[in-house]
Amino acid sequence: MNFFDHQRAARSSTLKLVFLFIVAVVAMVAFIDAAAAVAMTYRRADPSAVFDVVVGVTAVTLLIIAGGMITKTVALRQGGAAVAASVGAVQVDPTSSDPQLRRLVNIVEEMSLASGVPAPRLFVLPEEPGINAFAAGFTPADAAITVTSGALSQLNRDELQGVIAHEFSHILNGDMRLNIRLIGLLNGILLIGLTGLRVLQFGGGRGGGSKNGAPIWMIALAMMVLGFIGVFFANIIKAAVSRQREWLADASAVQFTRQTDGLVGALKKIAGIASGSALRDARSATEVSHMLFGEGRRSFRAWYATHPPLADRIKALDPSFDPREVDALKQRYGQRLPDGLAEDAMAGFTPTGTASAVGAAVQPAATVAGPFGAGRRGISPEQVADRAGTLTRADLQHGSALHATIPPDARRLATQPSTAAAAIIALLLARPGDPLHARQLASVAQRLGHREAQAAAALVNTMTVLPAELRLPLVDLAIPQLAAHPPAFREALLGVLNELAVADGSVSMFEYCVTRLVWSYLQDAANPHRRSKVGHGSLDRVRPTVTTLLATLAVAGAGDQESARRAYDGALRRLYPDAAAPPPRQVAWQQALDQGWAGLDGLAPKAKQALVEAMAVAVTADGTVTTAEAEMLRAACALMHVPLPALLT
């Protein structure tokens, strides 16, 4: 399945789970009502009283389930960071100099640059010696990846990259939203059992032997029994769904890294070390069990396990694996636990997690191409759409090389919450000495204060000398840091960026991409639950916006009006075969697109796939892809929540 098929499958899985949840709730309410009716009959109540009690019990039961579900969902509404915090994880400073954390940050940033998704926030479970990890969130913008301290210390770089690739596949495949919904649904059912238990503990004993106490006692007992039975079966459903997605994530991780050694090595270490992948905190292990890389707790029944057996996972990746190897691994790691950094040193990696000259896996910076590779030829529209939401080994090598090419000072400024906003602002400022520079700084000072204006001015020389192909990647690294600021600052920042973009009377393609990418990310971060829904709109409903977008892309890279007309005509007819395509114009295209992004983002997955293919027609009609076209194409896809990796030369 490609990215769009995964989106449809995720929506289908969500609908099935909601249906099963409704069936479970109806069954539970029916049985609890039956218990209430029996209890009232025991009291020899008249039929009208029985009816009133049953109605009341139904209402209370539904309120308890809904309250438990809503309370948990609201608590996790802020996405991945809220889930990580709920299990006691500690956020990682992206500028940390700790060798283990620096290696983790580098791997994630490289994968982010390669895949076209914002770098997820990183968390560590500090007191967990087992090897495990999970990704949580609603959208890539609010995604968080949490790893255990055991994974950081015991996995080498290739193994850690395999685990992170596994978690990135959950982000790209849309699994995270479903995972959070599972937590909420399960909590609603669990609360029924807990309520019944509490009533029995604190209220069921008073008058429990009399006829007056019998109804309450029987209803509470039914709630407790049915609630815990419901949780039991809900956990079985959760485990079955999780096992299926774990197979897919393993396969995707291999596709991303184009090598199985890293992922196999991580799984073998889990099998060999005493702590395995289990979490010490039983509550955390239960709540996020379906999200984890490995089993968070030991399961005594295969159908209750959230992950396929370790031996089966390893065998699927390495057919030559002999399960008897596990005994040798246990003996080896029983004497001495693995040391990931030491293994890296032997493989030629530096303590910071980058390749050294001895065993460099990353090509020299000079080989880095621009986004999509300036001058790229021979890309079909179908190939572009198929690349959405996926990675290849070449993409990862490109992301690593791109990460290494960004000047360290610029990368440090972009990845610090205190300087990320100033770094983005500096990219849009005119050079000192230009009359426009002073007016732009005055605008920054008016909205964000003199300190932020001075910080941005100090970074102009660092940021404006960056090559064109490094500007948007730097923005990609900086954007995730903006969510740490209060809402008032984020709102003011958007106003500043818009003013800077139009300060010279026109808006370049780069300026438009930066301002809208920042806007979209902050919208996602502010309300990830609402912004993560899979759409169902049709192309006919957004036709005016589609024509503007295709015209903009056609004009962006065309050398003359006739080339632009041909590119636009080919792209438009791919979506609307009967369309009469007038010569494209770029008049007020920014305003037209701004009004239409919500509609494009709300398209059904199949319609989005067709639109991405049409956009690819517009930018490849002349056989090449310019930097401006590449930036606009990737930005347009990002605004529709379609992550697109760079297409390499």
Q: Give yes or no for a contact between 355 and 609, defined as CB atoms under 8 angstroms apart.
A: no
* In the block, residue with structure tokens 């495990």: 132
Q: Give yes or no for a contact between 207 and 190, defined as CB atoms under 8 angstroms apart.
A: no
- How many residues comprise the chain? 649
Q: Between helices 509-526 and 468-478, what is the axis angle to 10°?
A: 10
**Bridge partners of residue 111, in order along the sequence:** none
Dmax (CA) for the chain in angstroms is 93
Dist CA 252 CA 99 (whole Å): 27
637: nearest Cα among 423, 424, 371, 421: 371
Q: Give yes or no for a contact between 92 and 130, defined as CB atoms under 8 angstroms apart.
A: no
Cα separations (Å) of 83 from 177, 186, 245, 521, 589?
12, 15, 19, 19, 40
Q: Give yes or no for a contact between 120 and 144, defined as CB atoms under 8 angstroms apart.
A: yes
CA atoms within 13 A on the CB side of 489: 13
Supply angle C-alpha 273, 277, 282, rounded to 5.
125
Handedness of CA 245, 247, 248, 250 (dihedral sign): positive
Dist CA 107 CA 423 (whole Å): 22
In the chain, what is the straight-line distance between the N-terminal and C-terminal CA atoms, in Å? 25
Q: In what order do the strands lie in the sheet with 90-91?
A: 90-91, 121-125, 144-148, 133-136
* In the block, residue with structure tokens 């409903």: 541
Supply φ then ψ for residue 125, to 5 degrees.
-90, 100
* In the block, residue with structure tokens 């913008």: 141
- Encode 300-326 in three state secondary structure: CCHHHCCCCCHHHHHHHHCCCCCCCHH
Q: Give yes or no for a contact between 391 and 168, defined as CB atoms under 8 angstroms apart.
A: yes
The token pair that represents 527 in the structure block: 């309300």
- Where residue 336 falls (left for φ over 0; alpha for ψ -120 to 50; beta otherwise) is beta
Mark whether 167 is an active-site residue. yes
Helix (H, G, I), strand (E, B) or coil at 164: helix
Residue 151 burial (10 A CB sphere; 0-12, 13-18, 19+):
buried
Q: Characterize the bridge pairing of strands 144-148 and 121-125.
A: parallel
The token pair that represents 635 in the structure block: 């930005």
Q: Give yes or no for a contact between 131 and 277, defined as CB atoms under 8 angstroms apart.
A: yes
Helix (H, G, I), strand (E, B) or coil at 349: strand
- The active-site residue, picked from 110, 167, 287, 613, is 167
Dist CA 147 CA 131 (whole Å): 8
Helix (H, G, I), strand (E, B) or coil at 146: strand
Give me the DSSP letters along 495-514. Answer: HHHHHHHHTTSS--HHHHHH
**Bridge partners of residue 90, in order along the sequence:** 124
Dist CA 276 CA 285 (whole Å): 13
Helix (H, G, I), strand (E, B) or coil at 491: helix
Q: Give yes or no for a contact between 40 and 218, defined as CB atoms under 8 angstroms apart.
A: no
Give the residue numbers marked as catalytic: 167
